[in-house]
Amino acid sequence: MTRVRLIGLLLLLMGSAVFILWGARLAETVPGGMGDFKIDYHAARCLIEHCDPYSQSEFEADYRANGWEIPVSLPARQGALLYINLPAAFVLTVPFALLPWGPAHLLWMTATAGSLILAAFLMWSIGADYAPIVSGCLVGFVLFNSEVLFGCGNPTGIIVALCVIAAWCLLKDRFALVGVICLAVSLSIKPHDAGLIWLYFLLAGGVQRKRALQALAVTVVLSLASTLWVWQTAPHWARELHSNLAVISAHGSLNDPGPDEVRGPDPDGVIGLQTVISVFGDDPRIYNPVSYLAGGALLLAWLVRTFRSRSSQLRSYLALAAIVPLTVVVTYHRPYDAKLLLLTVPACAMLWAEGGLIGWLALLVNGAGIALTGDIPLSILQILTARLHLSTAMLSGKMLTILLARPATLILIIVCIFNLWLYARQTVLDKGRDQSADGIPVLAR
């Protein structure tokens, strides 16, 4: 191992150490620690005991019967008693729910840490072939800023890790079965995290399309089997899930993207594009359609380039680097979903290795995306802006609110547009090189 590669690996290991030690301390000592896993754990136990986890009344009654404390505040109460995951989530959580809480939550913490560190290492291993230290800094920073994800025990940690591991398997065409299963599990549990990544591999053609179709088949089997199982105990689960989502997304509720109380950035807050649009029009009939139209336009541009380009290593990495930030902002997500930005590291490393202005811009933009979605930077910004009384009455106040209270969303949009431009640029350059073989000059850089 070369000296620079060893330095890059040490940076990854340093980030991993902080992630494990600090995250474990938060999980065990902070009030509400492992709160998200408690919800999934109890929902799985409720289903095992033939209780309907999607019914708030049944879920709360079973919650109390097992001696769990009901939170007092409305947002925390909604988070604890409104189950909003798809039935396929039980494929992941039921094995843990068969165990007592003590070993179950320790195994969950181990699975979260192990899977996310493995995913980070795999992305570093690709980037290290081009820029080991830069790759080590980026993936180490992602892990260094994942304490909230670890401390609350949200299943996103495992789902994101599985999606990244699957991408590595499909990109490298290694451990195909592992890649297909990992992608299928992430796609069936959180399609809004893995869906567009799966779409890329479907459109890429060749063996990657074959793996994507295999993953889809496994997804269908997992989803149908889990839905049939849930339906036996909760025949009205779909209607109840829709009701829970409506309640938890209403004004003043836990997942409200509107600026009812404009605060600073929150390391556990909503970061979808709706949070920016709502500053100008705090009405779901406004911010939802506008967000989907804006996201749809970017997706259409990405699709056009993907259809027109032939698969190559750099173009594959750029395609993922462009679609990942769009995945995070186009629908409801929180900063821990942005750990998917691990998939931007290979493209960033390759561009940095090429040098020049593009390399510096790639590092600056993608690095800023990783930094401004991290737990520690968001917490620092939250402290610095806590005394500010942001008002959205004037245009200047709206712009200040977006810059100071919505930095994660804003930078993700910038990362998406920048990487999409690079993706389109690379497609044009490669086309120019192909034409030069027939005597037509290569396009100038």
Q: How confident is the model at residue 339 (pLDDT cuts 50, 70, 90)?
A: very high
Tell me the average pLDDT across 86-92: 95
What is the model's pLDDT at position 56? 87
Q: How distant, in Å, are the alpha carbons of 123, 317, 371 from that of 368?
A: 18, 18, 5
Q: What is the pLDDT of residues 396-411, one digit of tens each?
A: 778 888 888 889 999 9
Q: What is the pLDDT of residues 305-333, one digit of tens each?
A: 998 777 678 899 999 999 999 999 988 88
Tell me the average pLDDT across 28-47: 87
> Per residue, what are the HEC states of the chain?
CCHHHHHHHHHHHHHHHHHHHHHHHHHHHCCCCCHHHHHHHHHHHHHHCCCCCCCHHHHHHHHHHCCCCCCCCHHHHHHHHCCCCCCCHHHHHHHHHCCCHHHHHHHHHHHHHHHHHHHHHHHHHHHCCCCHHHHHHHHHHHHHCCHHHHHHCCCHHHHHHHHHHHHHHHHHCCCHHHHHHHHHHHHHHCHHHHHHHHHHHHHHCHHHHHHHHHHHHHHHHHHHHHHHHHHHHCCCHHHHHHHHHHHHCCCCCCCCCCCCCCCCCCCCCCCCCHHHHHHHCCCHHHHHHHHHHHHHHHHHHHHHHHHHCCCCHHHHHHHHHHHHHHHHHHCCCCHHHHHHHHHHHHHHHHHHHHCHHHHHHHHHHHHHHHHCCCHHHHHHHHHHCCCCCCCCCCHHHHHHHHHHHCHHHHHHHHHHHHHHHHHHHHHHHHHHHHHHCCCCCCCCC
Q: Is the pLDDT of residue 444 over 50?
A: no
Residues 6+ apart with CB under 8 A from 417: 298
What is the model's pLDDT at position 270? 86
What integer best gives the mean pLDDT of the chain?
Answer: 88
Q: How confident is the model at residue 183 (pLDDT cuts 50, 70, 90)?
A: very high
What is the model's pLDDT at position 281? 85
Q: How confident is the model at residue 366 (pLDDT cuts 50, 70, 90)?
A: very high
**Per-domain residue ranges for the chain?**
259-429
Poorest-pLDDT segment among 30-34, 237-241, 379-383? 30-34
Q: What is the pLDDT of residues 225-241, one digit of tens each?
A: 999 999 999 999 999 99
Q: Is the pLDDT of residue 427 over 70?
A: no
Q: What is the pLDDT of residues 190-230, one digit of tens each?
A: 999 999 999 999 999 889 999 999 999 999 999 999 999 99
CA distance 104 to 234: 25
Q: What percent of the chain has pLDDT over 90?
A: 63
Tell me the average pLDDT across 361-384: 92
Asked if 35 and 161 count as a contact pair (C-beta separation under 8 A), the reply is no
Q: How confident is the model at residue 113 (pLDDT cuts 50, 70, 90)?
A: very high
Does the pTM surpass 0.85? The reply is yes
CA atoms within 13 Å, Cβ hemisphere of 9:
9
What is the model's pLDDT at position 250? 82
Q: Is the pLDDT of residue 441 over 50?
A: no
